[in-house]
């Protein structure tokens, strides 16, 4: 039962599209006949009468292509703006993989580290760059 309904709806869609195509094709052929008749009235060859329809068709294709390009550019612009906004409001990274980063507590216990190597086990830096006198 469901399959018959689906087929019936598909048949109706096909009928609507076929009638739309028939109407569009008839309109285009009437325009073509009108333009060719005007060209013959002015003692011009038939191909001159067909050029307006070719020109209109090309203009429609160009407009369609440019519309698609503009749509894609707008989508790309919105994506770029949203990524910028997300990156501005996101918290800064808390972990850095710096080879010369000193830590107070590491894998080998409390002390000063350079990367993964323990440099000193005291409270002060082994290089005394903070101005402490005990180190």
| Number of domains composing the chain | 2
Range of the domain at 44: 2-89
Same domain, 100 and 85: no
> Is residue 131 a part of any domain in this protein?
no
| 51-54-60 Cα angle (round to 5) | 140
Asked if pLDDT for residue 13 goes beyond 70, the answer is yes
The two structure tokens encoding residue 109: 């216990």
Report residue 90: phi and psi, to 5°. Answer: -80, 150
Cα–Cα distances in angstroms (integers) from residue 4 to residues 18, 25, 76, in the given order = 21, 31, 43
> Is residue 66 a part of any domain in this protein?
yes
> Is residue 132 a part of any domain in this protein?
no
Closest CA to 116 of 98, 135, 94: 98
Query: pLDDT tens digits, residue range 65-86?
Result: 999 999 999 999 999 999 998 8
Helix, strand, or coil (residue 75): helix
Same domain, 85 and 99: no
Of all residues in the chain, the percent with pLDDT exceeding 90 is 46
Same domain, 50 and 76: yes
The pLDDT assigned to 4 comes to 85
Asked if pLDDT for residue 93 goes beyond 90, the answer is no
Same domain, 82 and 98: no
The pLDDT assigned to 57 comes to 87
């Amino acid at each position: 039962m469901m399959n018959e309904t689906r087929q019936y709806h598909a048949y109706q869609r096909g009928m609507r599209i076929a009638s739309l195509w028939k109407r569009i094709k008839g309109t285009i052929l009437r325009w073509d006949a009108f333009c060719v008749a005007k060209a013959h009235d002015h003692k011009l060859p038939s191909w001159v009468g067909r050029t307006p329809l070719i020109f209109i068709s090309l203009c429609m294709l160009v407009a369609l292509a440019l519309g698609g390009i503009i749509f894609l550019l707008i989508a790309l612009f919105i994506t770029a703006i949203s990524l910028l906004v997300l990156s501005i409001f996101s918290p800064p990274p808390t972990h850095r993989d710096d080879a010369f980063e000193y830590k107070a507590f590491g894998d080998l216990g409390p002390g000063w580290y350079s990367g993964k190597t323990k440099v000193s086990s005291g409270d002060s830096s082994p290089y005394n760059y903070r101005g402490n006198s005990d180190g």
